[in-house]
Amino acid sequence: MSPNQGKIDALGGNDHGFMNRHRKLFPDKREVINEEDYNPPSKRGTYLLGRLNTVLNNRPVPASFGAALLLSDMEMLEKMVIGAEKSTFLLEFCIHGCMALPLLWKQCRSEQRATTAQLAHPPADAEAHGTLRQEQWYNHQTSERDRGKCVVRSVAPMQIVEIYPRSLSQPKLSRQAKAYPPFWDMLKYFWTPKRIAEWRQQIFSYRRSPMQALDNLSNLMCLSANLKQMWALGIFALKPLAYSEDRTQLEVQFFWQPRPGHRSISTSHS
């Protein structure tokens, strides 16, 4: 998987088109590969995964669990391996819980905020009339900021989507929610408390309601209908790199994330 890099005006599209912002389809061989993007396994990580594979008796694991292992903090991976060598109870729990991570992250069609047609007439007093009005206000502000165009393809019409899905901060008692551990509870088995706290600080910023995710312009963007659907399914990701000096442009990397299907993968790197 190769990241593509480009600039987006004010989180919105510029006038140079999709291909111009994404020319670099494959990295130059002379370039230094960014380990954060490609996640090459370290010697220590490979060794620990090999020990875990022995505990599993070479049994394949779900792709979501394998991905969490490869991206986990070394400290937490080591704890999991040591614990699994004593008892497989926690290991089996994590394998089960990770199966729900992609399902919990996906955004449902019912969570769609607004389309170009629905934003034709902004409510003048939107901020003063409760949650629905406030949401409409943010929708119009987001559309204005992104110039009414998809931030990736710079085309209209567009739809407004959430970067962090509200379903994770306002969970419903779906079948997934009843059968699996909460999303944030699962993260603590793979990443250190410090790293998780940094993530939470960026997402949960309401002092009066610390469990409520941020719901304003910083968590919203405009996408075309087809990209909105792919975003909701996690088929691609955008990595923010740097703002311009006047903060009207944000440079991002574009990542295709092909779906692994329903097959399992092995934790072994051999």
The radius of gyration of the chain from alpha carbons, rounded to an integer in Å, stands at: 21
Single out the residue of 208, 131, 199, 127 nearest to residue 168, CA to CA: 199
Please give the Cα distance from 7 to 164 (Å, whole number): 21
- For residue range 144-177, list pLDDT tens digits in order: 999 999 998 888 888 999 888 877 766 555 565 5
Query: Distances in Å between the alpha carbon of 61 and those of 23, 97, 119, 244?
Result: 36, 12, 45, 43
**Helix 74-86 vs helix 89-98: angle between axes, to the nearest 10 degrees?**
130
Helices and strands (H, E) in the chain, number of each type: 12, 8
Q: Dmax over Cα atoms in the chain, in whole Å? A: 64
**Average per-residue pLDDT for the chain:** 75
Query: Distances in Å between the alpha carbon of 240 and those of 57, 174, 202, 214?
Result: 40, 32, 13, 18
> What predicted TM-score, i.e. pTM, was given to this entire model?
0.71
- For residue range 106-141, list pLDDT tens digits in order: 765 445 555 554 555 555 554 444 556 778 888 889
% of the chain at pLDDT higher than 70: 64
SS3 233: coil
